[in-house]
Amino acid sequence: MNKVLLIDDDAELTTLLQEYLVEEGYDVVTDTDGRAAIAAAAGNTVDIIVLDIMMPRMNGIEVLQRIRKLSQVPVLMLTARGDDVDRISGLNLGADDYVPKPCSPGELAARLRAILRRAGQPAAGVSTDTIRAGQLVIHSGSRSAEWRGEALELTGTEFSLLEVLARSAGQLVSKQEISKRAFGKPLTPFDRRIDVHISSVRQKLGLREDGQSWIQSVRGQGYQLLVD
């Protein structure tokens, strides 16, 4: 049973979501203070955190920033509908996904399942092979990666994206294909989460000797992982 920490000061929405997620088989703990999420991340006591951005005392963006200094626990952000700034800020800081409020319990449960699937051990039938692409080594079974002989710290979402590119290293992979293979769903219009997460992975890989990124983009088409 996956343990979910739900941080939101909207009591009515929190109760609704908690009841639904419990029926779906989750162990759900709620709180109204973002500091509880930081403590849970530090103690490694939950499997995933659902974090509202607009909260008193400490907003969700600041909480996420502190969490990422302590842990790579999956985090799903609840954002105001239409607020692209909050969404992009959250993704830039390492959030795994976001859901606009007001959200349906069913949509939230589906997003949680997808994130946990990306962050956890592979299910039956999922490849557990090792992928080598230049100086990058991807271990699909343990969902871990090495870059230039050193462990590469990635969120679950970042790992899924990099694995897709590594399997097609040296080839252009369309955004639509990346979305289907990494997220299990088609890319929707104006969805920038792939771009934001790729930007984070680029920073972790650093630059090539020629000053270019190891992950090249083709405007309007997709991304390509270079191997030499």
As given in the structure block, the two tokens for residue 181 are: 């293979």
Cα-trace Rg, the chain: 18
- Ranked by mean pLDDT, the top range of 100-114, 120-134, 142-156 is 142-156
Q: Dihedral (C-alpha) 62, 189, 179, 217: value to the nearest 10 degrees?
A: -80
What distance lies between CA 200 and its chain's CA centroid? 11
**Gap between the Cα atoms of 228 and 219, Å rounded:** 22
What pLDDT is attached to residue 110?
A: 85
Q: Could you report the per-residue pLDDT of 33-70, keeping only the tens digit for each?
A: 999 999 999 999 999 999 999 887 889 999 999 999 99
Rounded to two decimals, the pTM is 0.65
Amino acid making up residue 95: A
Residues 154 and 202 in one domain: yes
211 sits in the region (left: phi over 0; alpha: psi -120 to 50; else beta) called left
Q: Which residues lie below 8 Å from residue 135, measured CB to CB, with a gap of 6+? A: 147, 148, 149
Structural domain span for residue 161 = 130-225
Residue 222 identity (one-letter amino acid): G
pLDDT classification of 213: cutoffs 50, 70, 90 = very high
In this predicted structure, the answer to whether residue 117 has a pLDDT above a threshold of 90 is: no
On whether both 211 and 135 belong to a single domain, the answer is yes
In a domain? residue 124: no
Residues 24 and 96 in one domain: yes
- pLDDT reading at 177 higher than 70: yes
Total count of domains within the chain: 2
**By percentage, how much of the chain surpasses pLDDT 90?**
50
Asked if residue 121 has pLDDT above 50, the reply is: no
Residues 101 and 103: their CA atoms lie apart, in Å, by 5
CA distance 49 to 66: 13
